[in-house]
Amino acid sequence: MQGSTRRTGIMTDVHRRFLQLLMTHGVLEECDVKRLPKHCDKVHDCNATVEKPEDFINNINSVLESLYIEIKKGVTEDDGRPIYALVNLATTSISKMASDFAENELDLFRKALELIIDSDTGFASSTNILNLVDQLKGKKMRKKEAEHVLQKFVQNKWQGEKEGEFTLHGRAILEMDQYIRETYPDAVKVCNICRSLLIQGQSCETCGIRVHVPCVAKYLQSNSEPHCPHCNDYWPHEVPEVFDPEKERETGMSRSNKRSLRSRQH
Partner 1 sequence: MSHASKRRRCVLEEGSETQSVLAVVEEDTSSSSTCSSSFPSSSSSSSSSFYPLILSSPEEELNDPSQGPSQNPPSSFLSPTAVASPMSQSEDGSSSQKEESLSTSEALPNAESLPRNVINDKVADLVEFLLLKYRTKELTTKAEMLNVVIKDYQDHFPEIFREALECLQLAFGVDVKEVDPSNDSYALVTTLGLTCDGMMSDGETMPKNGILIVILSMIFMEGDCVSEEKVWEVLNVMGVYDGTDHFIYGEPRELITRVLVQEQYFEYRQVPNSDPARYEFLWGPRAHAEICKMTLLEFLAKISGSDPRAFPLWYEEALRQQEERAQSGITTTDDTSAMASESSSAPSSSFCPE
Closest CA to 169 of 148, 180, 155: 155
For residues 251 and 256, which CB has a smaller minimum distance to partner 1 in the complex? 256
Using CB under 8 A, pick the residue from 14, 108, 124, 199 that binds partner 1. Answer: 14
Closest distance between partner 1 and the C-beta of residue 7, in Å? 5
- Per CB under 8 A, which of residues 37..56 are in contact with partner 1? 39-40, 43-44
Shortest Å distance, C-beta 10 to partner 1:
7
| 89, 102, 207, 242: residue in contact with partner 1 (rule CB under 8 A) | 89
Q: Does 24 bind partner 1 (CB under 8 A)?
A: yes
Q: Does 260 bind partner 1 (CB under 8 A)?
A: no
User: What own/partner pairs with CB < 8 Å and gap ≥ 24 does 172-177 have?
Assistant: 173/74, 173/77, 173/197, 173/199, 174/27, 174/72, 174/74, 174/83, 174/85, 174/87, 175/72, 175/85, 175/86, 175/87, 175/88, 175/96, 176/94, 177/87
Nearest 5°: phi and psi at 257? -65, -40
Per CB under 8 A, 125 contacts partner 1: no
Beta strands in 22-127 (DSSP E): 27-29, 69-75, 82-88, 124-125
Could you give the 3-state DSSP secondary structure of residue 266? Answer: coil
* Of positions 48, 54, 62, 134, contacts partner 1 by CB under 8 A: 62
Identity of the amino acid at 243: F
Q: Kindly tell me which of 92 and 203 has the beta carbon lying closer to partner 1.
A: 92
Q: H/E element holding 2?
A: none
What CA–CA distance (Å, rounded) separates 257 from 120? Answer: 26
Among 103, 182, 205, 233, binds partner 1 (CB under 8 A): 182
Asked if 155 touches partner 1 (CB under 8 A), the answer is no
Which residues are near partner 1 by CB under 8 A? 1-3, 5-8, 10-11, 13-14, 16-17, 19-21, 23-24, 32, 35-36, 39-40, 43-44, 60, 62-69, 88-92, 99-100, 178, 182, 254-256
